[in-house]
């Protein structure tokens, strides 16, 4: 994917390009070397913190404690960072995330 896009659940996913703006569903974090999970129609509760994800990824049963249902949104997380996204967003606009697109 180039550029790499994040997006809400209404955004199509697959291999993204400048002309085909699709969200990447094969993200990997270069900081914690963990696959980035995504959850359609959810956002993360504001009380989420680093230790919550470090201790609970990738167990969905534990993550649900801090997931809030929101139609059209998508919650992303690895073991060290997380985001709630509504609309199509270029990953380069968020310099704190160290996520890259894996192979499709």
17-30 pLDDT per residue, tens: 778 889 998 999 99
> For the chain, where are the E strands, in sequence order?
5-6, 27-29, 37-44, 67-77, 82-85, 89-90, 99-101
Distance CA 90, CA 104 (A): 18
At 46-69, the pLDDT tens digits run 999 999 999 999 999 999 999 999
Distance CA 101, CA 104 (A): 8
Q: Would you list the domain boundaries of the chain? A: 5-101
Candidates 29, 100, 85, 86; CA nearest to 58 is 29
Q: What is the pTM of this model?
A: 0.92
């Amino acid at each position: 994917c180039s550029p790499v896009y994040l997006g809400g659940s209404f955004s199509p996913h697959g291999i993204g390009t400048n002309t085909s703006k699709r969200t990447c569903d094969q993200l990997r974090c270069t900081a914690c070397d963990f696959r980035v999970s995504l959850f359609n129609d959810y956002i993360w509760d504001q009380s989420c913190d680093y230790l919550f994800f470090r201790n609970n990824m990738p167990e969905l049963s534990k993550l649900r404690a801090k997931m809030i249902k929101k139609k059209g949104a998508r919650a992303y997380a690895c073991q060290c960072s997380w985001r709630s996204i509504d609309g199509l967003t270029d990953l380069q606009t968020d310099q704190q995330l160290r996520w890259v697109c894996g192979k499709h």
